[in-house]
Amino acid sequence: MALRLISLIAVSMIASCNPAADYALVGSGYVPAAHGEINVEKIDREQLLITLTLDHLVSPEKIEIGLTHYIVWFAAVGEFPAYQRALDYDAETMVGLASIPTSLREFELQITAENTATPNQPSALLMASQKIREN
């Protein structure tokens, strides 16, 4: 019994050393079929790696003429969204992917549809969003 308890504690400690946290990502009314996940990994004490996948994501031009990219933004609490990068989007598979390192621990991840790969601010065309909170 004691050996089983020690084994259970050891497995729990190993699993909690650097666990990945998953968050659901659901499309907005613009892309209701879109869904995916956000995986958060601790790189070190100060950095997290945010990896997101969004499936069943229609091409931006199908949402509105002139749209060409999906852009990822991070909005820290009380702050305006900051540009991160364009999603790597595959129109054939309808999948958007991105991996982004950050030092933020609490923020809202937003994905917008844009007419350029490097907009100065997010459009009102919010495709998906999720609040992230990591310790």
Question: Number of structural domains, the chain?
Answer: 1
Q: Which of 76, 96, 84 is nearest to 33 (CA)?
A: 96
- Domain annotation covers residue 95: yes
Confidence of residue 1 (pLDDT cuts 50, 70, 90): low
Q: Looking at the chain, how many residues does it have?
A: 135
- Domain annotation covers residue 1: no
Q: pLDDT tens digits for 6-30?
A: 443 443 444 445 455 599 999 999 9
Residues of the domain holding 38: 19-133
- Domain annotation covers residue 94: yes
Residue pair 91/59 in contact (Cβ under 8 Å)? The answer is yes
Q: pLDDT tens digits for 51-102?
A: 999 999 999 999 999 999 999 999 999 999 999 999 999 999 999 999 999 9
Instruction: Return d(Cα 41, Cα 103) in angstroms, integer.
Output: 12
- Domain annotation covers residue 4: no
Say which CATH number the domain at 118 has.
2.60.40
- Domain annotation covers residue 68: yes
